[in-house]
């Protein structure tokens, strides 16, 4: 028996931790105004080093780059939120890209078509990074809200938008498959952060001069649902597809 155990420990089977996309709350909860944060950035950082989201009371756009958290507020400036800051909606993964492609001269629509063609199937999650020199990055951020929280489609009617020109930086985000409708944003959802960490936001459009795309296919999905009373009581029957289109711009 002892010999068998010794044999097992001397030749351990390699345990490769499976990579998982970890998500806080659902997009439909955010759309209907559930902006109270309930997961700290410290907890989130245990789940990955690459991601996007927002923070408590919808106070700006969150970017997680190389394990560091950045908050692009509605004044257009980039802040470093503390580890005990809470998020009401975020997605994070341990980024391990399998594919890398050099790109030149394309806009967001052309980029989406290209990534569509690179994905082996559109029924997986993909973590996406595009780093490069941009002629233009058009972003928005959302202003922090006070209770009673208005729905997201009302908040984004007056969203500050930013036209960042001749900027070098990274787009970070995800492609989510159609079947997660109501849970996350289906299709492409990216946030930008300039390399000098002075500008960024939720991506609306871009024109890339040259850059590198990195893609990471993800097969596992993990969620943490809110504890709030409004989440517990809401009946999620409404189809918010059209609201989401307006919010995404």
Q: Which positions lie near Zn ion, rule CB under 5 A?
A: 202
Minimum CB separation from Zn ion for residue 9, in Å?
47
Strands annotated E in 117-242: 125-140, 161-176, 187-194, 200-218, 220-224
Minimum CB separation from Zn ion for residue 183, in Å?
15
Smallest CA-to-CA distance from 57 within 86, 28, 80, 90 is with 86
> Which is nearer to Zn ion, 202 or 214 (by Cβ)?
202
Sequence-distant (≥ 6) Cβ neighbours of residue 109 within 8 angstroms? none
Minimum CB separation from Zn ion for residue 190, in Å?
8
> Which is nearer to Zn ion, 55 or 208 (by Cβ)?
55
Task: State the Cα–Cα distance between residues 209 and 212, nearest whole angstrom.
Answer: 11
Minimum CB separation from Zn ion for residue 191, in Å?
6
Minimum CB separation from Zn ion for residue 52, in Å?
6
DSSP 178: G
Task: State the Cα–Cα distance between residues 218 and 92, nearest whole angstrom.
Answer: 11
> Which is nearer to Zn ion, 47 or 202 (by Cβ)?
202
Report CA torsion sign: 113, 119, 125, 126: negative
Minimum CB separation from Zn ion for residue 141, in Å?
9
> Which is nearer to Zn ion, 94 or 202 (by Cβ)?
202
> Which is nearer to Zn ion, 182 or 209 (by Cβ)?
182
Tell me, rounded to whole angstroms, the distance of Cα 6 from its chain centroid. Answer: 45
> Which is nearer to Zn ion, 200 or 226 (by Cβ)?
200
b or e along 90-107 (b: 16 or more beta carbons within 10 Å of the residue's beta carbon)?
A: bbbbbbebeeeeebeebe
Minimum CB separation from Zn ion for residue 145, in Å?
15
Task: State the Cα–Cα distance between residues 122 and 10, nearest whole angstrom.
Answer: 42
In order of 125, 137, 169, 190, the CA distances from 209 in angstroms are: 27, 11, 12, 18
Determine the residue with CB nearest Zn ion: 202
Q: Quick count: other Cβ atoms within 10 Å of Cβ 168?
A: 13
> Which is nearer to Zn ion, 188 or 231 (by Cβ)?
188
């Amino acid at each position: 028996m002892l010999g068998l155990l010794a044999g097992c420990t001397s030749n351990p089977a390699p345990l490769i931790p499976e990579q998982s996309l970890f998500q806080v709350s659902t997009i439909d909860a955010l759309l209907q105004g559930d902006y109270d944060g309930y997961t700290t950035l410290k907890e989130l950082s245990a789940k990955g080093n690459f991601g996007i989201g927002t923070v408590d009371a919808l106070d700006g756009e969150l970017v997680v780059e190389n394990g560091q958290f950045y908050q692009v507020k509605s004044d257009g400036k980039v802040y470093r939120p503390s580890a005990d800051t809470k998020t009401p909606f975020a997605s994070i993964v341990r980024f391990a890209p399998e594919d890398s492609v050099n790109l030149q001269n394309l806009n967001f629509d052309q980029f989406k078509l290209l990534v569509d063609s690179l994905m082996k199937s559109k029924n997986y999650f993909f973590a996406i990074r595009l780093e490069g020199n941009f002629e233009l990055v058009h972003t928005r951020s959302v202003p922090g809200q006070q209770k009673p929280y208005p729905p997201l489609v009302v908040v984004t009617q007056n969203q500050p938008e930013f036209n960042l020109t001749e900027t070098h930086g990274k787009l970070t985000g995800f492609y989510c498959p159609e079947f997660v409708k109501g849970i996350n944003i289906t299709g492409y959802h990216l946030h930008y952060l300039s390399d000098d960490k002075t500008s960024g936001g939720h991506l609306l459009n871009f024109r890339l001069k040259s850059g590198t795309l990195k893609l990471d296919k993800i097969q596992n999905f993990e969620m943490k649902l809110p504890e709030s009373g409004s989440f517990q009581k809401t009946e999620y029957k409404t189809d918010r597809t059209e609201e989401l289109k307006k919010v995404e711009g």
